Amino acid sequence: MGQNSLKHKELKGRANITRNLSSGLNFLLTDQEDKAIEQLLELLDIEAATIDTYLALANLFRRKGDWDKAIRIHEKLHQLKLPKVQAQHIQFELAKDYYSAGLYDRAEHLLLQLVNSEALREASLKQLFSIFMATHELSKAVALTTEVANTQSKSLRIALANLHTESLKGAALDLTILAELAERYPQAIRPRFELAKLALAQHDAATAKGALLSILKQKPQWSADILPQLSQCHLDEDEWYQLLTLLADKHHNTSARLLLCDWLTEHGSITAAEHYVLDKLRQQPNIRLFQKLLQIRQQQSAQAAEVLSSVEELVNAYLASKILYSCRSCGFKTRQPYWLCPSCQQWETVEPIAGVDGR
Protein backbone atom coordinates (compact mmCIF):
# COMPACT_ATOMS: atom_id res chain seq x y z
CA MET A 1 0.00 0.00 0.00
CA GLY A 2 2.86 2.36 0.86
CA GLN A 3 4.63 1.70 -2.45
CA ASN A 4 1.40 2.21 -4.39
CA SER A 5 0.75 5.46 -2.52
CA LEU A 6 4.21 6.83 -3.42
CA LYS A 7 3.79 5.85 -7.08
CA HIS A 8 0.36 7.48 -7.14
CA LYS A 9 1.76 10.77 -5.78
CA GLU A 10 4.64 10.69 -8.27
CA LEU A 11 2.32 10.09 -11.21
CA LYS A 12 -0.02 12.82 -10.01
CA GLY A 13 2.90 15.30 -9.77
CA ARG A 14 4.07 14.43 -13.27
CA ALA A 15 0.55 14.86 -14.59
CA ASN A 16 0.41 18.37 -13.06
CA ILE A 17 3.75 19.27 -14.63
CA THR A 18 2.66 18.00 -18.03
CA ARG A 19 -0.66 19.83 -17.77
CA ASN A 20 0.99 23.16 -16.82
CA LEU A 21 3.63 22.80 -19.51
CA SER A 22 1.06 21.97 -22.17
CA SER A 23 -1.18 24.87 -21.26
CA GLY A 24 1.82 27.21 -21.12
CA LEU A 25 2.96 26.17 -24.58
CA ASN A 26 -0.61 26.58 -25.83
CA PHE A 27 -0.64 30.16 -24.58
CA LEU A 28 2.67 30.78 -26.39
CA LEU A 29 1.34 29.39 -29.64
CA THR A 30 -1.73 31.61 -29.41
CA ASP A 31 0.40 34.75 -28.74
CA GLN A 32 -0.82 35.09 -25.14
CA GLU A 33 2.67 35.60 -23.73
CA ASP A 34 1.62 37.04 -20.36
CA LYS A 35 -0.53 34.02 -19.53
CA ALA A 36 2.20 31.70 -20.82
CA ILE A 37 4.76 33.26 -18.50
CA GLU A 38 2.50 32.88 -15.47
CA GLN A 39 1.71 29.27 -16.34
CA LEU A 40 5.35 28.35 -16.86
CA LEU A 41 6.33 30.07 -13.63
CA GLU A 42 4.00 27.75 -11.79
CA LEU A 43 5.69 24.83 -13.51
CA LEU A 44 9.12 26.05 -12.44
CA ASP A 45 7.99 26.21 -8.85
CA ILE A 46 6.92 22.57 -9.08
CA GLU A 47 9.88 21.06 -10.94
CA ALA A 48 13.34 22.67 -10.74
CA ALA A 49 15.13 20.00 -12.79
CA THR A 50 13.76 21.14 -16.14
CA ILE A 51 16.81 23.23 -17.12
CA ASP A 52 15.80 23.68 -20.74
CA THR A 53 12.43 25.07 -19.67
CA TYR A 54 14.17 27.55 -17.39
CA LEU A 55 16.48 28.70 -20.19
CA ALA A 56 13.63 29.07 -22.68
CA LEU A 57 11.58 31.07 -20.19
CA ALA A 58 14.52 33.33 -19.29
CA ASN A 59 15.18 34.04 -22.98
CA LEU A 60 11.50 34.92 -23.35
CA PHE A 61 11.78 37.38 -20.47
CA ARG A 62 14.92 38.92 -21.95
CA ARG A 63 13.27 39.43 -25.35
CA LYS A 64 10.35 41.14 -23.62
CA GLY A 65 12.73 43.42 -21.69
CA ASP A 66 11.95 41.85 -18.30
CA TRP A 67 15.63 41.56 -17.41
CA ASP A 68 15.04 41.27 -13.67
CA LYS A 69 13.01 38.09 -14.16
CA ALA A 70 15.55 36.64 -16.58
CA ILE A 71 18.34 37.44 -14.12
CA ARG A 72 16.45 35.76 -11.28
CA ILE A 73 15.98 32.57 -13.27
CA HIS A 74 19.58 32.41 -14.48
CA GLU A 75 20.94 33.20 -11.03
CA LYS A 76 18.90 30.34 -9.61
CA LEU A 77 20.27 28.00 -12.26
CA HIS A 78 23.81 29.30 -11.72
CA GLN A 79 23.65 28.19 -8.09
CA LEU A 80 22.88 24.58 -9.00
CA LYS A 81 25.58 21.92 -9.27
CA LEU A 82 25.52 21.19 -12.97
CA PRO A 83 27.99 19.74 -15.51
CA LYS A 84 30.76 22.21 -16.37
CA VAL A 85 29.68 22.88 -19.96
CA GLN A 86 26.06 23.48 -18.97
CA ALA A 87 27.08 25.65 -16.01
CA GLN A 88 29.29 27.81 -18.25
CA HIS A 89 26.47 28.22 -20.75
CA ILE A 90 24.15 29.41 -17.98
CA GLN A 91 26.86 31.78 -16.73
CA PHE A 92 27.15 33.26 -20.23
CA GLU A 93 23.37 33.73 -20.45
CA LEU A 94 23.40 35.44 -17.04
CA ALA A 95 26.15 37.78 -18.25
CA LYS A 96 23.99 38.68 -21.26
CA ASP A 97 21.13 39.47 -18.87
CA TYR A 98 23.39 41.77 -16.87
CA TYR A 99 24.57 43.47 -20.07
CA SER A 100 20.99 44.02 -21.27
CA ALA A 101 20.08 45.48 -17.88
CA GLY A 102 23.08 47.85 -17.96
CA LEU A 103 24.94 46.05 -15.15
CA TYR A 104 28.20 46.09 -17.06
CA ASP A 105 30.53 45.40 -14.13
CA ARG A 106 28.70 42.20 -13.21
CA ALA A 107 28.58 41.06 -16.82
CA GLU A 108 32.29 41.77 -17.25
CA HIS A 109 33.18 39.77 -14.14
CA LEU A 110 31.32 36.69 -15.41
CA LEU A 111 32.59 36.96 -18.96
CA LEU A 112 36.24 37.27 -17.96
CA GLN A 113 35.89 33.89 -16.24
CA LEU A 114 34.65 32.38 -19.51
CA VAL A 115 37.45 33.71 -21.72
CA ASN A 116 39.47 30.54 -21.03
CA SER A 117 36.55 28.33 -22.05
CA GLU A 118 37.23 27.05 -25.55
CA ALA A 119 33.55 26.67 -26.40
CA LEU A 120 32.55 30.16 -25.21
CA ARG A 121 35.78 32.13 -25.70
CA GLU A 122 34.79 33.83 -28.94
CA ALA A 123 31.25 34.72 -27.83
CA SER A 124 32.53 35.98 -24.46
CA LEU A 125 35.17 38.20 -26.08
CA LYS A 126 32.60 39.72 -28.45
CA GLN A 127 30.31 40.48 -25.51
CA LEU A 128 33.23 41.95 -23.56
CA PHE A 129 34.12 44.22 -26.48
CA SER A 130 30.53 45.48 -26.52
CA ILE A 131 30.82 46.29 -22.83
CA PHE A 132 34.14 48.11 -23.27
CA MET A 133 32.65 50.19 -26.09
CA ALA A 134 29.67 51.10 -23.92
CA THR A 135 31.89 52.03 -20.94
CA HIS A 136 34.63 53.66 -23.08
CA GLU A 137 37.25 51.41 -21.48
CA LEU A 138 39.03 50.55 -24.71
CA SER A 139 42.33 49.81 -22.98
CA LYS A 140 40.69 46.74 -21.42
CA ALA A 141 39.92 45.44 -24.89
CA VAL A 142 43.53 45.96 -25.96
CA ALA A 143 44.62 43.96 -22.91
CA LEU A 144 42.82 40.92 -24.33
CA THR A 145 45.09 40.71 -27.40
CA THR A 146 46.50 37.32 -26.35
CA GLU A 147 43.05 35.84 -25.80
CA VAL A 148 41.93 37.01 -29.25
CA ALA A 149 45.07 35.47 -30.77
CA ASN A 150 44.01 32.12 -29.30
CA THR A 151 40.87 32.11 -31.46
CA GLN A 152 40.42 31.57 -35.20
CA SER A 153 37.90 34.40 -35.45
CA LYS A 154 38.49 36.95 -38.20
CA SER A 155 35.69 39.18 -36.88
CA LEU A 156 37.32 39.32 -33.43
CA ARG A 157 40.63 40.44 -34.93
CA ILE A 158 38.85 43.13 -36.94
CA ALA A 159 37.01 44.27 -33.81
CA LEU A 160 40.22 44.42 -31.77
CA ALA A 161 42.00 46.36 -34.52
CA ASN A 162 39.20 48.93 -34.56
CA LEU A 163 39.07 49.18 -30.78
CA HIS A 164 42.84 49.60 -30.63
CA THR A 165 42.70 52.31 -33.31
CA GLU A 166 39.80 53.97 -31.51
CA SER A 167 41.79 54.00 -28.27
CA LEU A 168 44.52 56.05 -29.97
CA LYS A 169 42.16 58.94 -30.70
CA GLY A 170 43.23 62.12 -28.99
CA ALA A 171 46.73 60.75 -28.38
CA ALA A 172 49.87 61.94 -30.11
CA LEU A 173 49.64 59.63 -33.10
CA ASP A 174 52.67 58.68 -35.09
CA LEU A 175 53.02 56.66 -38.26
CA THR A 176 55.00 53.90 -36.53
CA ILE A 177 52.16 52.91 -34.18
CA LEU A 178 49.57 52.83 -36.97
CA ALA A 179 51.94 50.93 -39.27
CA GLU A 180 52.43 48.30 -36.55
CA LEU A 181 48.65 47.96 -36.13
CA ALA A 182 48.16 47.67 -39.88
CA GLU A 183 50.77 44.92 -40.06
CA ARG A 184 49.41 43.07 -37.00
CA TYR A 185 45.81 43.06 -38.25
CA PRO A 186 45.84 42.60 -42.04
CA GLN A 187 42.16 41.56 -41.92
CA ALA A 188 41.09 45.08 -40.86
CA ILE A 189 41.20 48.11 -43.14
CA ARG A 190 40.75 50.88 -40.56
CA PRO A 191 44.39 50.97 -39.31
CA ARG A 192 45.61 51.37 -42.90
CA PHE A 193 42.94 53.99 -43.60
CA GLU A 194 44.01 56.03 -40.55
CA LEU A 195 47.68 55.49 -41.46
CA ALA A 196 47.09 56.88 -44.94
CA LYS A 197 45.14 59.86 -43.61
CA LEU A 198 47.89 60.74 -41.14
CA ALA A 199 50.61 60.20 -43.76
CA LEU A 200 48.87 62.58 -46.17
CA ALA A 201 48.58 65.16 -43.40
CA GLN A 202 52.34 64.82 -42.83
CA HIS A 203 53.08 64.94 -46.60
CA ASP A 204 54.34 61.35 -46.64
CA ALA A 205 52.86 60.34 -49.99
CA ALA A 206 54.77 57.05 -50.24
CA THR A 207 53.38 55.67 -46.97
CA ALA A 208 49.86 56.82 -47.81
CA LYS A 209 50.10 55.30 -51.28
CA GLY A 210 51.17 51.89 -49.95
CA ALA A 211 48.38 51.80 -47.36
CA LEU A 212 45.66 52.89 -49.80
CA LEU A 213 46.73 50.49 -52.55
CA SER A 214 46.67 47.58 -50.09
CA ILE A 215 43.09 48.51 -49.10
CA LEU A 216 42.02 48.62 -52.74
CA LYS A 217 43.60 45.24 -53.38
CA GLN A 218 41.69 43.73 -50.46
CA LYS A 219 38.45 45.74 -50.73
CA PRO A 220 38.01 47.20 -54.24
CA GLN A 221 34.42 48.15 -53.35
CA TRP A 222 35.90 51.01 -51.28
CA SER A 223 37.23 52.71 -54.42
CA ALA A 224 34.77 55.61 -54.12
CA ASP A 225 36.33 56.60 -50.79
CA ILE A 226 39.94 55.60 -51.46
CA LEU A 227 40.60 56.92 -54.98
CA PRO A 228 40.18 60.65 -54.09
CA GLN A 229 42.86 60.22 -51.41
CA LEU A 230 45.05 58.14 -53.68
CA SER A 231 44.97 60.90 -56.28
CA GLN A 232 46.93 63.04 -53.79
CA CYS A 233 49.77 60.51 -53.61
CA HIS A 234 51.54 61.67 -56.79
CA LEU A 235 51.03 58.56 -58.91
CA ASP A 236 52.45 58.87 -62.42
CA GLU A 237 50.02 58.94 -65.32
CA ASP A 238 50.61 55.35 -66.48
CA GLU A 239 50.25 53.92 -62.97
CA TRP A 240 47.05 55.90 -62.38
CA TYR A 241 45.61 54.79 -65.74
CA GLN A 242 46.44 51.12 -65.12
CA LEU A 243 44.91 51.23 -61.64
CA LEU A 244 41.68 52.81 -62.90
CA THR A 245 41.49 50.34 -65.79
CA LEU A 246 41.92 47.38 -63.44
CA LEU A 247 39.18 48.62 -61.08
CA ALA A 248 36.85 49.55 -63.94
CA ASP A 249 37.21 46.38 -66.02
CA LYS A 250 37.89 43.64 -63.47
CA HIS A 251 35.82 44.93 -60.53
CA HIS A 252 33.25 46.97 -62.53
CA ASN A 253 33.72 49.92 -60.19
CA THR A 254 31.70 53.01 -61.13
CA SER A 255 34.02 55.54 -59.45
CA ALA A 256 36.99 54.18 -61.37
CA ARG A 257 35.02 54.41 -64.62
CA LEU A 258 34.11 58.03 -63.92
CA LEU A 259 37.75 58.94 -63.18
CA LEU A 260 38.87 57.03 -66.27
CA CYS A 261 36.40 59.07 -68.29
CA ASP A 262 38.00 62.27 -66.91
CA TRP A 263 41.43 60.87 -67.78
CA LEU A 264 40.33 60.20 -71.37
CA THR A 265 38.92 63.72 -71.65
CA GLU A 266 42.20 65.21 -70.43
CA HIS A 267 44.65 62.97 -72.33
CA GLY A 268 42.55 61.94 -75.33
CA SER A 269 39.38 63.62 -76.49
CA ILE A 270 35.90 64.28 -75.18
CA THR A 271 34.57 62.05 -77.98
CA ALA A 272 36.64 59.12 -76.67
CA ALA A 273 35.26 59.75 -73.18
CA GLU A 274 31.71 59.80 -74.57
CA HIS A 275 32.17 56.50 -76.40
CA TYR A 276 33.67 54.95 -73.27
CA VAL A 277 30.71 56.02 -71.09
CA LEU A 278 28.17 54.83 -73.65
CA ASP A 279 29.90 51.46 -73.90
CA LYS A 280 29.90 50.98 -70.13
CA LEU A 281 26.28 52.08 -69.83
CA ARG A 282 25.26 49.43 -72.34
CA GLN A 283 27.19 46.78 -70.38
CA GLN A 284 25.98 47.85 -66.93
CA PRO A 285 23.42 50.66 -66.46
CA ASN A 286 24.32 53.14 -63.74
CA ILE A 287 22.74 56.48 -62.88
CA ARG A 288 26.12 58.12 -62.10
CA LEU A 289 27.54 57.15 -65.49
CA PHE A 290 24.36 58.53 -67.06
CA GLN A 291 24.98 61.78 -65.18
CA LYS A 292 28.53 61.89 -66.60
CA LEU A 293 27.12 61.37 -70.10
CA LEU A 294 24.80 64.34 -69.60
CA GLN A 295 27.77 66.50 -68.57
CA ILE A 296 29.75 65.44 -71.64
CA ARG A 297 26.84 66.17 -73.96
CA GLN A 298 26.45 69.63 -72.42
CA GLN A 299 30.11 70.38 -73.19
CA GLN A 300 29.70 69.22 -76.77
CA SER A 301 26.59 71.23 -77.61
CA ALA A 302 25.78 74.66 -76.24
CA GLN A 303 22.35 74.42 -77.83
CA ALA A 304 21.47 71.24 -75.91
CA ALA A 305 23.13 72.39 -72.69
CA GLU A 306 20.07 74.24 -71.39
CA VAL A 307 17.77 71.24 -71.82
CA LEU A 308 20.28 68.75 -70.51
CA SER A 309 21.08 70.87 -67.45
CA SER A 310 17.47 70.57 -66.27
CA VAL A 311 17.69 66.80 -66.71
CA GLU A 312 20.93 66.77 -64.74
CA GLU A 313 19.25 68.67 -61.91
CA LEU A 314 16.61 65.93 -61.69
CA VAL A 315 19.35 63.29 -61.63
CA ASN A 316 21.17 65.17 -58.87
CA ALA A 317 17.98 65.35 -56.82
CA TYR A 318 17.47 61.63 -57.31
CA LEU A 319 21.04 60.80 -56.22
CA ALA A 320 20.80 63.07 -53.19
CA SER A 321 18.11 60.79 -51.75
CA LYS A 322 19.84 57.46 -52.41
CA ILE A 323 21.78 55.44 -49.87
CA LEU A 324 25.55 55.09 -50.28
CA TYR A 325 26.42 52.35 -47.78
CA SER A 326 24.84 49.11 -46.64
CA CYS A 327 25.75 46.58 -43.94
CA ARG A 328 26.51 43.19 -45.48
CA SER A 329 25.59 41.52 -42.19
CA CYS A 330 22.16 42.98 -41.32
CA GLY A 331 21.27 45.16 -44.32
CA PHE A 332 21.38 48.49 -42.43
CA LYS A 333 21.37 51.35 -44.97
CA THR A 334 22.88 54.81 -44.59
CA ARG A 335 24.33 57.74 -46.53
CA GLN A 336 27.40 58.02 -44.32
CA PRO A 337 30.10 55.44 -43.49
CA TYR A 338 30.35 53.73 -40.10
CA TRP A 339 33.17 51.55 -38.85
CA LEU A 340 30.74 49.97 -36.38
CA CYS A 341 27.31 49.10 -37.74
CA PRO A 342 24.72 50.94 -35.58
CA SER A 343 22.25 48.10 -36.11
CA CYS A 344 24.08 44.78 -35.65
CA GLN A 345 27.18 46.14 -33.85
CA GLN A 346 29.59 44.41 -36.25
CA TRP A 347 32.86 46.08 -37.22
CA GLU A 348 33.67 46.99 -40.83
CA THR A 349 30.52 45.45 -42.29
CA VAL A 350 29.08 48.77 -43.58
CA GLU A 351 30.39 49.05 -47.15
CA PRO A 352 29.67 51.11 -50.29
CA ILE A 353 26.79 49.75 -52.35
CA ALA A 354 27.03 48.66 -55.99
CA GLY A 355 24.39 48.41 -58.69
CA VAL A 356 22.40 51.03 -60.56
CA ASP A 357 22.80 53.68 -57.85
CA GLY A 358 26.24 52.53 -56.67
CA ARG A 359 29.48 54.44 -56.84
Residues 333 and 259 in one domain: no
Whole-number Cα distances in Å, 27 to 36, 38, 40: 5, 10, 10
Residues 347 and 308 in one domain: no
- SS3 at position 44: helix
Position 61 scores a pLDDT of 81
Q: Which residues pair with 94 in a beta bridge?
A: none
Residues 248 and 301 in one domain: yes
Separation between Cα atoms, residue 147 and residue 226, nearest integer Å: 33
Q: Is residue 64 part of a domain?
A: no
Q: Is residue 16 part of a domain?
A: no
Residues 280 and 353 in one domain: no
Domain tally for the chain?
A: 2
Backbone angles phi, psi at 352, to 5 degrees: -60, 145
Q: Is residue 312 part of a domain?
A: yes
Residues 282 and 265 in one domain: yes
Q: Is residue 173 part of a domain?
A: no
190's CB contacts (< 8 A; 6+ apart) are 161, 162, 165, 339, 348
- The pTM (predicted TM-score) of the whole model is 0.79
Residues 311 and 338 in one domain: no
Position 49 scores a pLDDT of 55
Give the strand order in the sheet containing 350-352. 333-334, 325-327, 350-352
* Average pLDDT, consecutive stretches of 10 residues, N- to C-terminus, the chain (359 residues): 60 52 56 60 54 80 83 83 88 92 93 91 94 92 92 93 87 83 93 94 93 94 93 90 93 92 88 91 90 86 75 87 91 93 92 88
Residues 277 and 312 in one domain: yes
Position 43 scores a pLDDT of 58
Residues 285 and 241 in one domain: yes
**Do the Cβ atoms of 334 and 324 come closer than 8 Å?**
yes
Position 20 scores a pLDDT of 55
What are all long-range contacts of 201-206, with beta carbons under 8 Å and residues at least 24 apart?
Answer: 202/175, 204/175, 205/232, 205/233, 205/234, 206/233
Q: Is residue 139 part of a domain?
A: no
Q: Is residue 281 part of a domain?
A: yes
Closest to 90 (Cα-Cα) out of 64, 103, 72: 72
DSSP state letters, 78-134: HTS---HHHHHHHHHHHHHHHHHTT-HHHHHHHHHHHTT-TTTHHHHHHHHHHHHHH
Separation between Cα atoms, residue 36 and residue 57, nearest integer Å: 9
Closest to 323 (Cα-Cα) out of 346, 353, 298, 347: 353
Position 46 scores a pLDDT of 42
Position 307 scores a pLDDT of 74
Q: Is residue 156 part of a domain?
A: no
Position 216 scores a pLDDT of 94
Q: Is residue 56 part of a domain?
A: no
**Do the Cβ atoms of 191 and 173 come closer than 8 Å?**
no
Residues 333 and 295 in one domain: no
Residue ranges making up the domain that contains 354: 322-359
| Four-residue CA torsion sign, 275, 280, 283, 287 | negative
